[in-house]
Amino acid sequence: MMTLYSGTTCPFSQRCRIVLYEKGMDFQITDVDLFNKPEDLAVMNPYNRVPVLVERDLVLYESNIINEYIDDRFPHPQLMPADPVMRARARLFLYRFENELFCHVDTLEKGNPKTVDKARQIIRDNLTVIAPVFAKQKYMLGEEFSMLDVAIAPLLWRLEHYGIELPRQAAPLAKYAERLFSRPAFIDAMTPSEKVMRK
């Protein structure tokens, strides 16, 4: 049985929860209090962060690595593209999400007003740039829901919570976000603390 050590408000943990629910498999979620972390977390993950996935002797951390492992272990429904070229492209997108969007999450949660404002602006601008894509297609890679949608969903859910307002031209992105939020796995994967992040 897989056990996911997950932060109840952590966007990276939410990604892993979404994948577990999309796969509809047997798993256990252990909630970690981020302000009072259990001692064994630092033993499992040298960075002392969630999420951490434990399955028998295997211990994994870093949400994208965890999610690719789950996808390989339980191929249905497949969330990473089967084609090597498309899969490499998807990994590049995931890498860009981390470096252009998610690297600012820490600042939004713990920064001072000046750095928080800058982080908000960077995220808003980066999301506005990708918005037009969704005027033509349902999901990041086209018509099929994939790991890219999983990766970005927790950030889109938290926009209001982080005080990020998207401009009018980002309307296709807002519609896309609603599509993600209405998926049963997205709803099931949410913690009570995440549910109250949006009105």
pLDDT at 174 over 90: yes
- What pLDDT band is residue 34 in, cutting at 50, 70 and 90? confident
CA distance 68 to 80: 7
Domains and CATH numbers, the chain: 2-77 (3.40.30.10), 84-183 (1.20.1050.10)
Averaged pLDDT for residues 81-106: 96
Nearest to 182 by CA among 163, 162, 160, 156: 156
**pLDDT 10s digits, 103-135:** 999 999 999 999 999 999 999 999 999 999 999
Phi, psi dihedrals of residue 21, rounded to the nearest 5°: -75, -35
Sequence-distant (6+) residues with CB within 8 A of 61 are 44, 45, 47, 49, 51, 52, 53
Catalytic residues: 10
Check residue 125 and give its pLDDT: 97
Check residue 199 and give its pLDDT: 83
End-to-end CA distance of the chain: 35
**pLDDT 10s digits, 48-89:** 999 999 999 999 999 999 999 999 999 999 999 999 999 999
Burial 51-76 (b: 16+ CB within 10 A, else e): bbbbeeeeebbbbbebbbbbbeebee
Q: 141: helix, coil or strand?
A: coil
pLDDT at 189 over 90: yes
Q: Tell me, yes or no, if the pTM score tops 0.85.
A: yes
CA distance 80 to 59: 21
CA distance 153 to 31: 20
Sequence-distant (6+) residues with CB within 8 A of 174 are 166
pLDDT at 90 over 90: yes
Check residue 94 and give its pLDDT: 97
CA distance 36 to 181: 30
